[in-house]
Structure 1
């Protein structure tokens, strides 16, 4: 079996202002990444948005290793394991993710956040995205290739 595609996902949310951001970095045939954010949102919606964006254009049948920090893993766990109490929020994103995961062997891994790692890089982009969303509203942007080259993702 080929090495799995590695994906780092992160979400940020400011409780007082209700703005949030998300980001992902993915290593497959190449290193790619996107970030986005919105106003009047939740951390759960940002975590789900990150995962949905990361899964959007994957080759069919690819094995996936999705890595995230503990706080986001708690929010995403219900996507991978049937929860005892079915969620009632963000059903649109949950349905989209379920469809995108079909045909993939996906594993969610909880990672500790260490400096100068792809996860730390992804979290920093999610934080910047939350700040931008506070000022400009909803957006989505590709993380520039020169920045991705500094993420450390290609070396993993």
Structure 2
């Protein structure tokens, strides 16, 4: 069975304002360029919750080439991500209903998903934040966009 670790990051400045997100996936047991994939994107007129949920949805959608029962560890930088999915009373969150719905479906499709908060001090955090910042900056000039992180950059991923 495949084991994969996925890291996600998102940001929004101001909130609401311009936002960016990024994800990187590493498959255990594979080496070189085949072992790692990633993407970044951004939107105008958005908010932090939407960017966090978009990062989650995009990252999990990128696992479509893996069996549904693949073991996935999701390391996320947004400390509020769990709150974007479920509120303090255990009810499904209602803010950003369309983004939340897409994220909920993506999570439900992965029965072997473990969500783990990542520390901002981890080396992977700086890499992901830089690409989320790239997404934010690019959305300012081009509008909504999504692009793969180039392989030469991914090979420098410290995760």
Q: TM-score, normalised by structure 1?
A: 0.83
Asked if structure 1 preserves the Cα contact closer than 8 Å seen for 2:15 and 2:47, the reply is no
Give structure 1 stretches of 5+ with no counterpart. Answer: none
Instruction: Name the SS for the 1:19 alignment partner.
Output: strand
- Structure 2 gaps, min length 5: none
* Aligned residues: CA RMSD: 2.1
Could you tell me which residue of structure 2 aligns to residue 96 of structure 1? 102
User: Per-residue displacement from partner, 1:73-100 (whole Å, max 9, x unpaired)?
Assistant: 3134453x57515322222222222222
Tell me the residue number matched to 1:14.
13
Q: Write the deviation string for residues 2-50 of structure 1: whole angstroms up to 9, x where unpaired.
A: 5731111000111177000000001125200000000000011011111
Aligned to 2:44: 39
- The separation in 1 between residues aligned to 2:92 and 2:103, in whole angstroms, is 15
Aligned residues: 148
Q: Does 1:61 align with 2:66?
A: no
Aligned counterpart for 1:51 among listed residues 50, 56, 67: 56
Q: Aligned with 1:89: secondary structure?
A: coil
Deviations 1:49-70 (CA, angstroms, capped at 9, x unpaired)? 111010003221112111122x
